[in-house]
Chains A and B, each alone.
Chain A
Amino acid sequence: MKEKLVFGNKVLLIFFLLLLFLFLGINITFAQEAGEAKASVDSLAQAPAPPTNVVARDAPNDNGHALVVTWTLSPDDGAGKNNVVSYEILRSDNPDTGFVVKGVVALGISQYEDKGAKEKGDKNYLPSHKDFYYRVRARADGIFSESVVSAPAYAYGQWFHFGKSPIFIGSVIFTFFVVLFINMAKKGKELYVRPIAGIDAVDEAIGRATEMGRPILYIVGLGSAADLGTIASLTILNRVAKKVAEYQTPILVPCADPIVMTVAQESVKAGYYDAGRPDAYKEDSVWYITSMQFAYVSAVNGLMLRERTATNIYMGVFYAESLLLAETGNVAGSIQISGTDQVAQIPFFVAATDYTLIGEELYAASAYLGKEPLLLGAIKAQDWGKILIMISLVLGVLAASFHFDFFVKLFQVKM
């Protein structure tokens, strides 16, 4: 197989540039003239003054099934008679009749997002491109007064979610880093990556298992193929399988997810293939037990003691079972190497295994073990991502200390 990118980097850059233009080219402003809201005074004596200036407009950054209603607070909200408790928002598709309460907000709030369902069958369905009218009620203790009807407004979908701009910019920058460093790696530039203790131990541990003539146990964790930690683990498994094939040591990979099992089979098979011993691969060395957490653990624990595995490697996504596995491996006297991106489980791996890859080290390991320039390029991109984060932190903290809050706003994500 040729190690060649199927799609050139230039194509990708152009693609992202196009997206960027799309994002800049869209006109975002859309406002509607507010209908003149006249205060209609309720006949009851204690009623609060009604809210005024009721304006409805399309909700931004959505799929076109929501409207935003704003109003000016009743003069009796927190002042005047000071008896407003809440506001009720009413909607109708007819300016004269058929108004129904769609939502309630507390006093002091002058905005409401009327979010409808997008499914036609839903009773809360709010169609796109259809005019709606709004009224807002100020409610006091057992009594209320209503604003005049707003001007019509309709909902429609947007082409870009501007609230997510920081994430968009972040992804463009990071993608640029990855493409850049991978290109540099392809051109043959040496990329230095510092030694990581847990990763170097993998070789040694495989060697020990070979000397003892006992199998190696590799646990991919409880994650599914949708978890990136599991994918990283499967890449590590590929490199481990290659070494294992070279040393001719048996490897056992019990799995807790059928899809992960099939991927693990491919991964191990590929390792044997890379080592030039495709015929030594045994299909039954990667098998499925069960997807239920503790049943899986009970079986693996039994396996460790009965097969007397010399080396246990735990890489990927782990939950409460981490310590159950690691302690049993300890009882069996195996050398244990672990790595997970689950913060809550790292302490138990640190306490009970010989080496632990902490968080990002798991992802670095998948590239580092193979020493493939393309994958090492990604580690460089991660480091540049960190540099960028650290610069933002320093600048942001300084700005915040001098009370310039614009910097925090750069990172403001609105959903």
Chain B
Amino acid sequence: MSFYEKMMTLDRRWVYLCVGIAVAVPLFVPFTVPVSVTPEVRSVYDFVESLKEGDRLFIAIDYDPTVMAELQPMSLTIMRQCFAKGVKLIISALHQNGPGMAEQLVSLVSKEFDKKSGVDYCYLGYKPYPGLTILAMGQNFRIPFPQDYYGVSLDSMPMMQGVRNYDQVKAIIAMEAGWVADSWIRDANGRYKVPVALGVTGVMAADYFQYLPSKQIFGLMGGLKGAAEYESLAKQKERQATGRMKVQTIAHIMVIIFIVIGNVGFFMSKRKK
């Protein structure tokens, strides 16, 4: 059997071994794979980076623990970036199973930066009817949320003085696992003209690109890859998504290498005949 024919008929166990190594080794060896940053992620990052101390940003955490792996890194990175710059955050959680998870995240990051509820951030929590809540917040945050998640009145909070509705926030960055994303685009951006950027799961990403050219959203982060791109821009210490993405990249390269080997073998041995 010629060399090229061998390339075509490698024992499957070699393939298995290489895949195993490709997945296992990157878990141990610290190295980075460059992530090519797409413009739609960069525009989110550039926007957050352009915020000044004291500016207010609205972050929507509308997912539940089942999609944490993809969306949590985005929320985490953006919140850290904001707190480091002294940007004040208003955070809502409009997914039924999400508020507890979002609360953990908020308290974790606020402790890291020693930020205080009501002064540096305001966690609103959950209200049913997301579409209605989003519309009502366009009038006044206090309609759906007279108090925050912890039961503190919004009027008593220093950071909420003079903050009525979306007019007083720079933008909304919404982390979405479902149709609530449409409501942010249609209601918050469409009706109240507040800039919206989305972080969505990998499967949803393809459906939301269409809102970019019409500027209905000014940025989009899709799945693990979008999260890894954002992490590579933010250059923070903890990079959950990058770690996972690194393994995915190596594994995909491995699969592609095998496809190439098979095809090279196929063409070269055909040419010989």
Does A83 interact with chain B (Cβ within 8 Å)? yes
A272 CB → nearest B CB, Å: 37
The CA of A249 and the CA of B142, in the complex, are separated in Å by 76
Does A106 interact with chain B (Cβ within 8 Å)? yes
Question: Are B135 and A106 in contact (CB-based, < 8 A)?
Answer: yes
**List of A residues within 8 angstroms of B129 by Cβ:** 104
Q: Which one of A83, A106, A142 has the greatest number of beta carbons of chain B within 10 Å?
A: A106
Question: Are B140 and A141 in contact (CB-based, < 8 A)?
Answer: yes
Does A39 interact with chain B (Cβ within 8 Å)? no
**List of B residues within 8 angstroms of A142 by Cβ:** 142-143
Q: Which of B12, B132, B142 contacts A141 (CB 8 A)?
A: B142
User: Nearest CB to that of A103 among chain B residues?
Assistant: B129
Does A107 interact with chain B (Cβ within 8 Å)? yes
**List of B residues within 8 angstroms of A398 by Cβ:** none
Give the size category of B's interface with A: 10 to 19
User: Nearest CB to that of B183 among chain A residues?
Assistant: A106
Q: Which of B12, B132, B139, B187 contacts A83 (CB 8 A)?
A: B139
Does A331 interact with chain B (Cβ within 8 Å)? yes
User: Nearest CB to that of B137 among chain A residues?
Assistant: A85
Question: Are B131 and A141 in contact (CB-based, < 8 A)?
Answer: no
- What mask results when residues 151 to 190 of chain B are scored 1 for a CB within 8 Å of chain A, else 0? 0000000000000000000000000000000000001000
**List of B residues within 8 angstroms of A86 by Cβ:** 132, 135-136
Q: Which of B12, B132, B140 contacts A106 (CB 8 A)?
A: B132
**List of A residues within 8 angstroms of B132 by Cβ:** 86, 104-106
A73 CB → nearest B CB, Å: 15
Question: Are B139 and A331 in contact (CB-based, < 8 A)?
Answer: no
Question: Are B131 and A106 in contact (CB-based, < 8 A)?
Answer: yes
Interface of B is mostly: helix
**List of B residues within 8 angstroms of A83 by Cβ:** 139
Pair count A-B, CB < 8 A: 25
Question: Are A107 and B135 in contact (CB-based, < 8 A)?
Answer: yes
**List of B residues within 8 angstroms of A140 by Cβ:** 139
Question: Are B142 and A85 in contact (CB-based, < 8 A)?
Answer: no
Residues of A105-159 whose CB lies within 8 A of B: 105-107, 140-142
**List of B residues within 8 angstroms of A141 by Cβ:** 139-140, 142-143
The CA of A107 and the CA of B143, in the complex, are separated in Å by 14
The CA of A141 and the CA of B136, in the complex, are separated in Å by 9
- What mask results when residues 64 to 106 of chain A are scored 1 for a CB within 8 Å of chain B, else 0? 0000000000000000000101100000000000000000111
**List of B residues within 8 angstroms of A106 by Cβ:** 131-132, 135-136, 187
State the interface size on chain A (CB cutoff 8 A).
11
**List of B residues within 8 angstroms of A104 by Cβ:** 129, 132
- What mask results when residues 1 to 23 of chain B are scored 1 for a CB within 8 Å of chain A, else 0? 00000000000100000000000
The CA of A142 and the CA of B131, in the complex, are separated in Å by 19
User: Nearest CB to that of B138 among chain A residues?
Assistant: A85
Question: Are A85 and B139 in contact (CB-based, < 8 A)?
Answer: yes
Residues of B122-155 whose CB lies within 8 A of A: 129, 131-132, 135-136, 139-140, 142-143
Question: Are B135 and A85 in contact (CB-based, < 8 A)?
Answer: yes
**List of A residues within 8 angstroms of B142 by Cβ:** 141-142
A143 CB → nearest B CB, Å: 11
The CA of A331 and the CA of B11, in the complex, are separated in Å by 10
Residues of B7-52 whose CB lies within 8 A of A: 12
**List of A residues within 8 angstroms of B139 by Cβ:** 83, 85, 140-141
B14 CB → nearest A CB, Å: 14
**List of A residues within 8 angstroms of B187 by Cβ:** 106
The CA of A144 and the CA of B210, in the complex, are separated in Å by 39
A393 CB → nearest B CB, Å: 23
A95 CB → nearest B CB, Å: 28
The CA of A142 and the CA of B155, in the complex, are separated in Å by 14
**List of A residues within 8 angstroms of B136 by Cβ:** 85-86, 106
The CA of A331 and the CA of B16, in the complex, are separated in Å by 13
User: Nearest CB to that of B129 among chain A residues?
Assistant: A104
Residues of A335-382 whose CB lies within 8 A of B: none
The CA of A356 and the CA of B26, in the complex, are separated in Å by 37
* Given A85-B139, A141-B143, A331 and B12 contact (CB-CB distance below 8 Å): yes
The CA of A104 and the CA of B135, in the complex, are separated in Å by 12
**List of A residues within 8 angstroms of B143 by Cβ:** 85, 141-142
User: Nearest CB to that of A331 among chain B residues?
Assistant: B12
The CA of A331 and the CA of B139, in the complex, are separated in Å by 64
User: Nearest CB to that of A84 among chain B residues?
Assistant: B139
The CA of A104 and the CA of B131, in the complex, are separated in Å by 11
The CA of A13 and the CA of B142, in the complex, are separated in Å by 63
The CA of A104 and the CA of B132, in the complex, are separated in Å by 8
A103 CB → nearest B CB, Å: 10
The CA of A181 and the CA of B143, in the complex, are separated in Å by 64
The CA of A181 and the CA of B140, in the complex, are separated in Å by 65
- What mask results when residues 65 to 99 of chain B are scored 1 for a CB within 8 Å of chain A, else 0? 00000000000000000000000000000000000
A137 CB → nearest B CB, Å: 14
The CA of A331 and the CA of B12, in the complex, are separated in Å by 8
The CA of A142 and the CA of B132, in the complex, are separated in Å by 16
Residues of A55-69 whose CB lies within 8 A of B: none
The CA of A104 and the CA of B130, in the complex, are separated in Å by 12
**List of B residues within 8 angstroms of A85 by Cβ:** 135-136, 139, 143
The CA of A85 and the CA of B129, in the complex, are separated in Å by 14
A169 CB → nearest B CB, Å: 31
B20 CB → nearest A CB, Å: 15
13 of the cross-chain contacts (CB-CB < 8 Å) are A85-B135, A86-B135, A105-B132, A106-B135, A106-B187, A107-B135, A140-B139, A141-B140, A141-B142, A141-B143, A142-B142, A142-B143, A331-B12
Interface residues of A, Cβ cutoff 8 Å to B: 83, 85-86, 104-107, 140-142, 331
17 more A-B residue pairs beyond the given contacts A83-B139, A105-B132, with a C-beta to C-beta distance below 8 A: A85-B135, A85-B136, A85-B139, A85-B143, A86-B132, A86-B135, A104-B129, A106-B131, A106-B135, A106-B136, A106-B187, A107-B135, A140-B139, A141-B139, A141-B140, A141-B143, A331-B12
Query: Which A-B residue pairs are the 9 nearest by beta carbons?
Result: A106-B135, A85-B139, A85-B136, A106-B132, A141-B140, A85-B143, A141-B139, A141-B143, A86-B132
